[in-house]
Structure 1
Amino acid sequence: MRASRLVSILLLLQTRGLMTARELAERLEVSVRTIYRDVESLHAAGIPLYGDAGPSGGYRLLDGYRTRLTGLTADEAESLFLAGLPGPAAELGLGAVVTAAQLKLMAALPVELRDRAGRIQERFLLDAPSWYRDAEPVTHLPAVAAAVWDEHALQVRYRRWKAPQEVERRLEPYGLVVKAGRWYVVARSEGQVRTYRVSQILELHPLHEERFTRPPGFDLAAHWEAYRAEFEARLRRGEAVVRLSPRGLERLADLMTPGVVEAARATAGSPDEEGWTRVTVPIESVEHATGELLRLGLDVEILSPPELRHAVAAVARALTRRYASSADGQPSWTAPAERRITWKRRVTS
């Protein structure tokens, strides 16, 4: 365990350049005193490692020193080839770069690790987007990624869901996130850090001369987690109490969002005499919940709120009228002559 930690210290200093004992301790989840002992051991082993005192000090490796330790375990080698997502990399324009890097890494591995890493690529594939979704056009993604990397601003024309739908925005992009196959850029605009869907950028102009500085300590992963939690909380503005048949309860995970499924499981009681289960689920609005719950068909009964129950009943009545048939089995509604001919041709062909 200690040998692995010593290698980790070397690799961290090699990639970061300068780190304090406290930063190393937090990263490796040990005490600062342990880091002091590890540094002394590295010194004793002849590693050109030295420390600077003071507020801006820390440990660093002698300029030009590069460790030749490969030290990869079989699991680590396999994970490197499993971690890459070819789709997002290609969308960023890095598909060929990722492939070249993997080939170089493969060539540097010992034969036994090379074989195991190769089997990972042959037997496991990560496909992030959900079913029934076409790939989104992300024409401006490379330009957004370049702005994130170079820290220059962007002028964009953006389409949003509320009026006015098309707006002009100046963005200072801090980072990119891919969520369920969809790309989002986290950027400062109009004095606030906001999230924009890359596919909704209609027009983009790089502002290469307008540089910006990322806020010190900005953590993209932590920001996204907080945004995601806030977004999900906004979607749960109300609650609905429903009864689910055994089949409906089983289908819930395939048809509803994880938040709804989690809430249903947490509130599910014992099945009643008909085998149905009463659950409480979050809803965004009556209109939205009507469409979502109708996906369960006859496997759900809405108990409350009354307005949601009435809305679903109204849709059911409208569907009954639309699909009600006359005595001869023909549709009861009257279509224009041209459409009736087309319909008959489709049925008889």
Structure 2
Amino acid sequence: MMNQRRLAIMRLMDSRHKFTARELAERFEVSVRTIQRDLDALQTMGFPLYTEVGVNGGYRVLPNRILPPLQLTQQEALGLFMMLEYLEQIPDFPYGMIREHLAEQYFSTLPADVQERIAGMREHIAFMQHPGEHRESLTSDLLTAAVEKRAVSFMYQARNGLKKVKAHPFGIYYEQGYWYMPARNKDHVLLYRVDRMQQVMVLDQRDESVPTLKTWLKQAEDRDGEEVVLRFTEFGARIAASDALFSTVSDQEWRGIVPRSEFSFTARRLLSYGPEVKVVSPPELQERVRVMLEQGLAQYRNEFRDKWEN
């Protein structure tokens, strides 16, 4: 059984910092010899600790080190595995290998009664989504590139065919079954669907001026856009309350700033509400919805006309 001091040393050690045995001894109020025995024991256990010799030497751990074990209560363990059940439904989840690791290796270390409890709970809970093909390395690479302010190159399946793109990602977000990556491409900010990307490569080129995803989202109202006003029916408002885009609906009305570049996307989302929503303003969005409705109706008019003529 690992003692609390050694566990604390594991938590303290950071690949970005170097510690001497004396510094650790003073921190934990024990002798240098005791600390050296602790460090030897951690190395024997497989903790990736290495020594830098010399006047400025000390102890470091490898960046991809094994972190301290989870210490969870039974309720926390149950909650963790329910979260894993949910995450299993999200395709391409970054660093998704953790699901398999926890579901198998950590699960096997739990007491038998907790394992039985988790197995029983799985029979009584479901998340009604449709998981797609998992390619988590793609989202992991994009997220890493965003954090490190590095550019990425990839082939993108656009409407007019496959094209090569180089851009600086702000981050990624998951919405309505898809991952999206807003990125700076030359002088423009474009939104890419991750499932349409191929042959992704993280480049060495860095740009420290690239904003974080959270900053970009907060600045959304400052982008070139217009105020959109929607009027929902009572039933439509209940549906909208569960929609990430329109969840701020209040008294059956929704107001928000929508960039003009996203009018087509917004119009298609509104079509899914059918008669449960009306665009009050602006006229441009009203027209987008009207045209899409006309195009949809035209397909049926043509079908009925062909049947009548035959």
TM-score (norm: length of structure 1): 0.50
Residues 79-228 of structure 1: pairs in structure 2 closer than 5 A: 79-84=79-84, 85-88=87-90, 98-126=99-127, 135=132, 142=137, 145=140, 154-159=152-157, 167-171=163-167, 177-185=173-181, 189-190=185-186, 196-201=192-197, 203-204=198-199, 206=201, 211-212=204-205, 223-228=212-217
Out of 223, 234, 239, which is 2:228 matched to?
239
Residue in structure 2 matched with residue 282 of structure 1 by the alignment: 256
Residue 335 of structure 1 aligns with which residue? 305
Pick closer, same or farther for the CA change 1:223–1:304 going to 2, 3 Å.
closer
- 1:240 counterpart SS class: strand
Change (3 A) 1:89 1:74: farther
After superposition, the C-alpha distances for 1:307-343 in whole angstroms (9 at most, x for unaligned) are: 87799899999999999xxxxxxx9x9824xx3377x
How many Å separate the matches in 2 of 1:70 and 1:304?
52
Match of 1:292 among 270, 287, 300: 270
- Contact kept in structure 1, 2:171 and 2:213, CA below 8 Å: no
Aligned counterparts of 2:298 and 2:96: Cα–Cα separation in 1: 54
CA contact (8 A) 1:81 1:120 kept: no
Q: Deviations over 1:213-238 (max 9, x none)?
A: 6869x9xxx92223334457759612
- Deviation string 1:58-111 (CA, Å, 9 cap, x unpaired) is x97899x9998763222332233233322446777956x733542211222234
Counterpart amino acid of residue 76 in structure 2: E
In structure 2, give the amino acid aligned to 1:156.
F
Is 2:11 the counterpart of 1:12?
A: yes
**Pair member with larger Rg:** 1
How far apart, in 2, do the equivalents of 1:125 and 1:89 lie? 16
**Gapped runs of 5+ residues in structure 2?**
40-55
Structure-2 residue corresponding to 1:253: 238
Give the Cα–Cα distance (whole angstroms) in 2 for the partners of residues 191 and 182 of structure 1. 25
- Cα distance, 1:281 vs structure 2: 2.8
Secondary structure of 1:237's aligned partner? strand
% identical equivalent positions: 15
Paired residues of 1:157 and 1:169 also in contact (CA < 8 A): yes
Q: Partners in 2 of 1:280 and 1:294 — Cα distance?
A: 16
CA distance in 2, matches of 1:69, 1:321: 61
Shift of 1:200: 2.5
Does the CA-based 8 Å contact 1:18-1:60 persist in structure 2?
Answer: no
Q: Is the 8 A contact 2:10 2:68 kept in 1?
A: no
- The 8 Å contact of residues 154 and 204 in structure 1, kept in 2 or not, is answered as no
Unpaired runs of 5+ residues, structure 1, are 21-35, 51-56, 269-276, 324-330, 343-349
Moved more, 308-317 or 84-93: 308-317
1:184-215, Cα deviation, whole Å (9 max, x unpaired): 346665488865321232x53647xx545686
Question: Secondary structure at 1:104's aligned position in 2?
Answer: helix
User: 1:43 Cα shift?
Assistant: 3.5
Distance change (3 Å), C-alpha of 1:83 and 1:232:
farther
Query: What amino acid does structure 2 have at the position aligned with 1:157?
Result: M
Task: Evaluate the alpha carbon distance shift between residue 12 and residue 127 of structure 1 in structure 2; reply closer, same or farther with a 3 A threshold.
Answer: farther
Q: Under a length normalisation based on structure 2, what TM-score does the superposition of the two structures give? A: 0.54
* Compared CA separation, residues 11 and 341, structure 1 to 2 (3 A): farther
The count of corresponding residues between Structure 1 and Structure 2 is: 272
Alpha-carbon contact 1:147-1:153 (below 8 Å) kept: no
**CA RMSD in angstroms, aligned pairs only:** 5.9
Structure 2 CA distance for partners of 1:192 and 1:258, relative to 1, 3 Å: closer
Q: In the alignment, is the contact (CA less than 8 A) between 1:239 and 1:281 conserved in 2?
A: yes
